[in-house]
Amino acid sequence: MRDASKLTDRHRAKILVIYIRQSSYAQVERNRESTARQYDLTGRAAELGWPKEAVLIIDEDLGLSGSGSAERAGFARLAAEVGLGHVGLILSLEVSRLARSNADWYRLLDLCALTGALIADVEGIYDPADYTDRLALGLKGTIAEAELHVLRERLHGGIRNKAARGELRFGLPVGLIWGESDGQILAHPDEAVRGAIGSVFDRFAELGSVRATWIWYRDQGLPFPYHDGRGGDVQWVTPSYLQIHRILTHPAYAGAYVFGSTRQERSIDEDGRLHTRRRRLPMEEWQTLIVDHHCDQAYLTWDTYLANQARIDTNIRPQAHEPGTGAVREGCALLQGLAVCGRCGRKLAVHYNRDYSTPGYHCNGRNLAEGRAERCLSIGGMQIDQAVAEAFLAALTPAGVEAALVAAEAVIADRDAALSQWRNEVERARYQASLAERRYMAVDPDNRLVARGLEADWEAKLAALAAGQAELARKEAARPTDLGPDERAALVRMGNDLDRVWQAPSTTGRDRKELLRTLLEEVVIDVDRDAGQARLTLRWRGGALSEVRVTLKARQPTIRTDDDTIELIRRLACHHPDGTIAGILNRQGRLSARGQPFNAAIVQGLRHHRGIPRYQRPDDSPEGEALPLYQAAKQLGLVPSTVYRWINEGFIPAEQDTPGAPWRIRMTDQIKALFVDDTPPGWLAMLEATMALGVSRQTVLQRVKRGELQAVIVRTGRRKGLRIQVPEPNPTLFNPNQSTKEAV
């Protein structure tokens, strides 16, 4: 190592730091010689004159890249030690070990130049404060960063080139595997896996929603194949929503080879920490897209895949003024996702009454009118839904027979798909049981330690097989029979009377909304309250428009006291008569349903109508009962104004049923003990207490309220008022007389 003359006693008086780093955990595991060479730098530190106890090894960053993309605790520790002036020399195998990012590299150089620390590698010792050495270090840092860039570009270029040919191998989703040829992708050889994946696309085509498809799987109790994408064995688990969504949105199932569909983005938070995340890119920004890469092994066509993505996108709740109806959801609101405000063009939101039996529609766009925020539109949904349903059924009548037959066949196909899945599950369970049996039979009978474990596994597999067979038998028994001539004739008659099918109890609100969306794109609703009409513009698929007018029911005036006032009267009636309650309500500024001030008669009428019992005055006043203020003052021997003053001061606990209600005090022994006729010995008045404690009057009052000081109220004599028990002062450095006397 050259230029050892730059080292002085000033440098050797500080510590020497050996910084050790390798870029990845794979290098740590495989390239152990490099790690050993870095740890061997301790011998070089001894040659330079540093004792062993003055050498600090920082190796927390083993397995982390020095490109600046990862947070390095070891480098941060090194920078902190240099900044504190503790480091005389930084020693590493090459300076590129310290940093391959110019931002980190020049920050370290600046700290070293300020504190006089040197940097050394196997080629020499450099002083960052010296212009020539700093120029050499800067050149080395630039070369290290450029070298990393070149290596990365070479690697990524090869990856992109291989991906452009469709030959780059990466983790495939469940149901697809890599073949032996370059870029060959095959369907999974397990028929049960293929059947489970295919059933997802079949159910989505029928239900039209990712969530509905997932719920169907959960309701059927079917297990689902899963693997982590790293080539492990397929496991059968309860499906999650994310699994179903990934299958429906992954283009590999449509025979496409896709690379570069995500992009890594970096951001800095408010604390200055670097964060990275993966963002999914739109299809037009994918780096590689080969549509017909393995179409012979695909589960669906590319056109079907694109149609599914468009359908999933429309299921997302649309924003204002954006197209889309959203997924069909539960509830009886027929126009959920279809209704549009005729005034501002926003999608109408749905609301229900308390038992969810009556729907309504409202626009969330608000207009400011006369200082109040009012909804742009709000209307009940019963008449609107009925009018739209009548128009829909009138348009659907010619296709009624065909729709009825298709619906019946869809029910049978749905059950058959579930049964096929269960048959595959039973077959798989039978194979697992047979495999466990063969393993048990092949073991040495004398090796009981192994035999007992295999026997338990065999029994578990047999139990799983029995459970699967029982569930399959139950589902086969519940399967509807195929349609015969009589059933088809009945369906034809029913199809000619779609109105009965529409109103049938077995037809759910979800079914009606699915049917409605087959012909309708949206329904524009506008309300004219003055004319008492709602104008509905129905936009049919294909562009046709039709208009329906609905006569609205006239609003009936309602005279009803608000629930908050009724609940307040219910609480007050337990403690006060009707006249007192009326006074409390008037002090709070409340008015009756007719806009009049309350009186005893109005309160009495409300009580009788609501079934609220009247106030019963107690015969006696036992201790602990909440008494009105004047009764409490009488028991305490004070005037009510004095009691009220001590309540405001916070010395007497009292309660109010509501703001404006009379105060009530619970007369307990503790309350009575606060009032005495004579001053207790040693207790001080307020002025004397403030002087003894050396604090203000307000501070004394606060300590009494917090319970730090004991206080009573003297109610007789010329010096009535508060008396406070002041504790004896503790001996301090400036008042040692008391402790000195006790010691003597």
Residues assigned a catalytic role: 23
CA atoms of 422 and 426, how far apart (whole Å)? 6
CA atoms of 293 and 252, how far apart (whole Å)? 9
Query: Taking every pair of C-alpha atoms in the chain, what is the biggest distance, in angstroms?
Result: 120
CA atoms of 332 and 511, how far apart (whole Å)? 10
Whether 14 and 86 have beta carbons less than 8 Å apart is answered as: yes
Whether 94 and 121 have beta carbons less than 8 Å apart is answered as: yes
CA atoms of 366 and 346, how far apart (whole Å)? 11
Token digits for 317? 């709740």
CA atoms of 729 and 736, how far apart (whole Å)? 11
Residues forming a β-bridge with 120: 91, 125
360 three-state secondary structure: strand
CA atoms of 584 and 568, how far apart (whole Å)? 10
- Whose structure tokens read 């900044």? 83
Nearest to 729, CA basis, from 685, 692, 674: 692
Q: Which amino acid is at 293?
A: H
Residues forming a β-bridge with 118: 89
User: Which strand ranges, in their side-by-side order, compose the sheet holding 359-362?
Assistant: 349-352, 359-362, 378-380
Q: From its phi and psi, is residue 711 left (phi > 0), alpha (psi between -120 and 50) or beta?
A: beta
User: Which strand ranges, in their side-by-side order, compose the sheet holding 15-19?
Assistant: 55-58, 15-19, 87-91, 118-121, 124-126
CA atoms of 609 and 718, how far apart (whole Å)? 55
650-656 long-range contacts, Cβ below 8 Å, gap at least 24? 650/701, 650/705, 651/704, 651/705, 651/711, 651/713, 651/722, 654/629, 655/626
State how far the alpha carbon of 634 is from the alpha carbons of 3, 652, 660, 673, in Å.
100, 15, 22, 15
CA atoms of 265 and 685, how far apart (whole Å)? 72
Whether 660 and 698 have beta carbons less than 8 Å apart is answered as: no
Q: How far apart are the first and last CA of the chain?
A: 76
Q: Which residue stretches of 367-447 are H helix? A: 382-396, 400-442
Whether 388 and 516 have beta carbons less than 8 Å apart is answered as: yes
Question: Residue 704, class by beta-carbon neighbours within 10 Å (0-12 exposed, 13-18 middle, 19+ buried)?
Answer: buried
State how far the alpha carbon of 551 is from the alpha carbons of 393, 530, 558, 571, in Å.
20, 11, 21, 44
Q: Which amino acid is at 435?
A: L
The alpha carbon torsion through 391, 394, 397, 400 (nearest 10 deg) reads: 30
Q: Which amino acid is at 5?
A: S
- Whose structure tokens read 């008022």? 721
Nearest to 234, CA basis, from 421, 82, 428, 404: 428
Indicate the angle between helix axes 302-315 and 191-207, nearest 10 degrees.
50
